[in-house]
Chains A and B, each alone.
Chain A
Amino acid sequence: NAGVTQTPKFQVLKTGQSMTLQCAQDMNHEYMSWYRQDPGMGLRLIHYSVGAGITDQGEVPNGYNVSRSTTEDFPLRLLSAAPSQTSVYFCASSYGRSYEQYFGPGTRLTVT
């Protein structure tokens, strides 16, 4: 199993550009989440999904969109990038009552 994979690993965007961060998992987990990590702030939940076709907002959803058309994939879209979105983004998945979230390796995004 590859676990949770994320692409790209690094990305530089100009203000106003849009892009999609990809996340995929091959463990058949129903729950998937996106977090952003900023220095001194820990990880904060952006959006999450409890299954294909079902998504909801987390703590910091503004400026981001998600969709979940399959169990495996959970892309995160930045609609119009802003410098405040410079961060490291992590995707995670989990299942049932295990409560253990499996994290991808992260995408480091810089918006200039």
Chain B
Amino acid sequence: AQSVTQLDSQVPVFEEAPVELRCNYSSSVSVYLFWYVQYPNQGLQLLLKYLSGSTLVKGINGFEAEFNKSQTSFHLRKPSVHISDTAEYFCAVIQNTGFQKLVFGTGTRLLVSP
């Protein structure tokens, strides 16, 4: 069975500063990796996904993530954050076989202040 660890429950950052949200996973088989964002009182929205190919994945709103197989990591980065990026971010994995059973991390709350 796979699992996902998000090491930081909360990350405070000033507007226009860079940010990295960390995600590590464990799995005995190959996986696909995702980052979802949840704005207050809303559902989840896909930011980006890694299925195959280039290990650097670009998503919406200027976010990107890098798949590192040797370190089993999929960290999310943005070079300059905005107040509107304040939200909760979830890393998730799916085994690349069978049903699309997403396994989520516990989430990281990004707090952007002026």
Contacts and interface: CB of A to CB of B under 8 A. Distances in A.
Interface residue tally of chain A, by bracket?
20 to 34
19 contacts: A31-B99, A31-B100, A33-B102, A43-B102, A45-B102, A45-B103, A58-B101, A90-B43, A92-B102, A94-B100, A99-B32, A99-B51, A99-B100, A100-B49, A101-B44, A101-B100, A103-B36, A104-B43, A106-B43
A53 interface: no
Interface of A: 4, 31, 33, 35, 40-45, 48, 50, 56, 58, 90, 92, 94, 99-101, 103-106
A48 B42 contact: no
Contacts of A100: 34, 46, 49
B25 interface: no
Contact of A99 (B45, B49, B105, B106): B49
Most buried by A among B4, B36, B101: B101
